[in-house]
Amino acid sequence: MVFAQLVTALHVVEVSFPLEYQAPLWKYKPINFINNLIGHEGPGSLHSYLKEKHWITALSAGSQSLARGIAMFKVTIHLTPGGFGT
């Protein structure tokens, strides 16, 4: 069990997934496809659906190279008070 005391009223969810080494896939860039799929903000997207429900204020997704051969895919969601309580 984890207890935390909030200092500010900022509610953010960050989820990170490890990625396999991406350099050999430079020609196809599969992680860019996933990034565009999750991070897209247009009509019918995950972002627009959650924003219409007034659950989020921002959503971003992308890969992070931590070192040679080590990368993470991170999704960051900024929640509204209503989205945090849902």
Q: What is the 3-state secondary structure (H, E, C) of the chain?
A: CCCCCCCCCCEEEEEEEEECCCHHHCCCCHHHHHHHHHHCCCCCCHHHHHHHCCCEEEEEEEEEEEECCEEEEEEEEEECHHHHHC
Q: What is the pTM of this model?
A: 0.79
Number of domains, the chain: 1
Question: Does the residue 6 lie in any domain?
Answer: no
Q: What is the pLDDT of residues 45-65, one digit of tens each?
A: 999 999 999 999 999 999 988
Range of the domain at 72: 11-85
User: pLDDT at position 22, please?
Assistant: 85
Question: Does the residue 31 lie in any domain?
Answer: yes
Question: Does the residue 4 lie in any domain?
Answer: no
Q: Which position has the token pair 């971003």?
A: 60
Question: Does the residue 40 lie in any domain?
Answer: yes
Question: Does the residue 64 lie in any domain?
Answer: yes
Which neighbouring-strand residues pair with 12?
78
